[in-house]
Amino acid sequence: MFDIQNIRSQFPILSQKINGKDLVYLDNAATSQKPLLVLDCWMKYYTEINANVHRGIHTLSQLATEEMELSRRKIQKFINAKHDFEVIFTKGTTEGLNLIAYSLTNLIKKDDEIIISYLEHHSNIVPWQMLCQRTGAKLKVIPMDENGVLQIDFLDKNLSEKTKIVSVNQVSNALGIVNPIDEIISKTRANSNALIVIDGAQSVPHMKIDVQKMDCDFFVFSGHKMYAPMGTGILYGKEEILRKIQPFHGGGEMIASCSFEKTTYADLPFKFEAGTPNVGGNISLGAAIDFMENIGHENIQNHENALLDYAQKKLLEIDGLRIYGEKAKRTGVVSFNLEGIGIASDVGMILDKLGIAVRTGHHCTQPIMDFFDIAGTVRASFAVYNTFEEVDILVEGVKKAQKMLS
């Protein structure tokens, strides 16, 4: 049974006061809070088994290695990867995307094309621009309409043998829009040999992921947005492609042999994991998966979608409030502005005084803000521990801000 009070009791941070008010934490798209299961796992790692992995003959090192590899297998199952060595530990989505863009450099030539979408986070724009600068490839962008819906007909006219990479997010962080990645992937497969990269930073916390069914070549996400510690993340890549591409970072752990004349690289996944990893974090990411699976994906999704529907309905009752992407399929996020109040951060500051944590600004998606000709939005984003009462508090807070600022 879905027991919200039991879930909340696992997050000690939620029961504190901010500015004298009960904390209402609605900035989950930036980072989620961490449950006791994850905090205890982290603490246990550092109090009982901290040691460097894959190197030591001693017991602690072996224990740490076993635990981290166990976590890798848990993540493999969580996203349904075919092999555990297709799961690479990173420090987050940004690192994963940079790794892919760098490692593909040798396969990209002048006048090749890379397609992204209008709805991308800067971390799914800039690494591709940098790849274009290194290689002379061209960046193309799937446009969107006023509702924030991607115009994927664009792909019919623009996919060709020149297209080498298509990289899109599954859910937009700025607007919460769920993109039609099944259609994007099937169009891409039908009309090109492009590699498909999916940014799952905002989908993994909310929906069940199956990378084999999805048939993407790469899938990246951050641990800290799905109840795991900061500095954790995953890059999934298909074996065949991971074997073909060059490593991102050089150093310890990623070599098979090293001499001044020649270095050979370690097998997967270690070829892409240079240096000492975030062992405690990577193990705790496994605990975050346990936390989510104990509740169940369907329960998480149903609760969060109900919160979103409720928030949208209540917010739209406020005169002059506009929700961006109102009519599109969305999850986890409601992004809005109040008419006549040009600066979203003014609203955010008033909400903060009321104990309500939301994000304001461009959300690392300046092209989306330019499209709507705004500097930013107020973004409330939900996690499994949020309640309908918190939505009511948000709505009352927004009304108060509107009164104070108009």
Give catalytic residues, as residue numbers. 364
**Collapsing DSSP states into helix, strand and coil, what is residue 110?**
coil
Q: Which residues contact 10 (CB under 8 A, 6 or more apart)?
A: 35, 36, 37, 291, 385
Minimal distance, residue 394 CB to ligand PLP, in Å:
20
DSSP string computed for 212-275? HHHT-SEEEEESGGGTSPTT-EEEEE-HHHHHHSPPSS-STTSEEEE-SS-EEEPPTTGGG--S
CB closer to ligand PLP out of 163 and 203 = 203
Minimal distance, residue 400 CB to ligand PLP, in Å:
28
Query: Which amino acid type is present at position 130?
Result: M
Minimal distance, residue 398 CB to ligand PLP, in Å:
23
Distances (CA, A) of 21 to 15, 17, 314, 352, 404: 10, 5, 22, 10, 19
Check residue 84 and report its DSSP letter.
G
| Separation of alpha carbons 202 and 226, rounded Å | 9
CB closer to ligand PLP out of 33 and 94 = 94
CB closer to ligand PLP out of 112 and 120 = 120
CB closer to ligand PLP out of 103 and 222 = 222
Are 104 and 132 in contact by the 8 Å Cβ rule? The answer is no
Write out the residues near ligand PLP by the rule CB under 6 A: 92-94, 121, 123-124, 169, 173, 199, 201-202, 222
CA angle 71, 73, 78 (to 5 degrees): 95
CB closer to ligand PLP out of 269 and 332 = 332
Minimal distance, residue 263 CB to ligand PLP, in Å:
29
CA angle 119, 302, 399 (to 5 degrees): 70
**Helix 388-405, helix 344-353: angle, nearest 10:** 120
Q: Of 45, 46, 301, give the one whose Cα is nearest residue 178.
A: 301
CB closer to ligand PLP out of 201 and 285 = 201
Minimal distance, residue 102 CB to ligand PLP, in Å:
15
Are 231 and 91 in contact by the 8 Å Cβ rule? The answer is yes
